[in-house]
Every structure is written in structure tokens, then in C-alpha cells.
């Protein structure tokens, strides 16, 4: 189910993002930014989806999506007020959200989730034996 929803999102959002990118109005740029944040999560769901679901990765991917959307909305709210806004970590808040929120935090979250769940998704000897057995079936060499 999650994989089908992600594929639908990618199919609808891709041409919509191209159209929104060409429209110079601020609302179009805001919708574009929100759609862009959902794109990497949808790609990950398509990549790891098995039997329609994402298994134990569902909650971390949902957390990643909510975090990315919150960062995008935070940056949109600060648009035009970058110098007036507070500073964080030596940067204006919008730049800090972009650097720390949209780059470093998702990188760490995805890397840690992958490392902690790697053993669940790697190919095991049973998987290789099953593939070899399938390859030996009559008519499998078509």
C-alpha cells in the first residue's frame, strides 16, 4: 500500500513540480517546496517497499517526512525576514534550518536507521538458496 501511494505521489508530483517551478507567484513556490520535501521519502519507500509495505522502516520514514516538511514550512515562514529573525549556531535561522535541518539531520537519521536495520534487509543464505532453486525450475531459462 505504501509503495503504491509513493508511486502515485511521484507520478502526480513530478509534472506538478515542473509546472509550479515555472510559475513566479509565491504560493506556487511554497507548494513546490512542500512537494520537494516529500520526494526523497517517496523514493526511499519505493526502493525499500516489499509486498506493498515498508515494514519496520515505516515509523522512521514518517518521522523523516514530518521533519522535512516542518523544515520547509519553517523556511517559508522566514522568507523575507532572514536578517530580522534570530540566529542559531552562528547562522540566521533560515540558513540554520537549511544546513542543519535539511542536510545534516536527515543524513544522520537515514544513515543510523540503515545501520540499525541492515541485518533485516541483507541477503541471507536462505534467500540465495531460494533464488538458485527458482533458477533450476524447468522453463526458468526462457
Q: What are phi and psi of 116, to 5 degrees?
A: -75, -25
Supply the pLDDT for residue 99.
92
- 61, pLDDT greater than 60: yes
Nearest one of 39, 22, 30 to 77, comparing CA atoms: 30
Higher per-residue pLDDT: 34 or 109: 34
Does residue 14 surpass a pLDDT of 80? yes
Q: Give residue 142's pLDDT.
A: 47
Please count the helices (runs of H) and the strands (runs of E) in the chain: 6, 2
Give the residue-averaged pLDDT of 11-23.
92
CA-CA distance, 129 to 32, in Å (whole number)? Answer: 46
Q: Which of 78, 84, 80 is nearest to 97 (CA)?
A: 78
Residue linked to cell 531459462? 141
pLDDT (mean) for 100-115: 85
Amino acid at each position: 500500500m505504501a509503495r503504491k501511494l509513493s508511486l502515485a505521489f511521484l507520478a502526480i508530483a513530478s509534472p506538478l513540480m515542473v509546472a509550479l517551478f515555472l510559475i513566479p507567484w509565491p504560493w506556487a513556490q511554497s507548494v513546490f517546496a512542500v512537494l520537494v520535501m516529500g520526494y526523497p521519502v517517496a523514493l526511499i519507500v519505493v526502493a525499500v517497499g516489499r509486498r506493498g509495505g515498508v515494514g519496520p522502516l515505516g515509523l522512521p520514514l514518517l518521522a523523516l517526512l514530518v521533519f522535512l516538511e516542518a523544515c520547509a514550512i519553517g523556511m517559508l515562514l522566514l522568507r523575507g525576514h532572514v536578517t530580522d529573525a534570530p540566529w542559531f549556531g552562528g547562522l540566521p535561522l533560515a540558513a540554520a534550518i537549511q544546513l542543519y535541518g535539511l542536510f545534516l539531520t536527515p543524513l544522520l537519521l537515514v544513515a543510523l536507521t540503515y545501520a540499525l536495520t541492515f541485518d533485516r534487509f541483507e541477503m541471507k543464505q536462505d534467500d540465495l538458496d531460494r533464488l538458485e532453486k527458482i533458477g533450476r525450475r524447468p522453463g526458468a531459462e526462457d
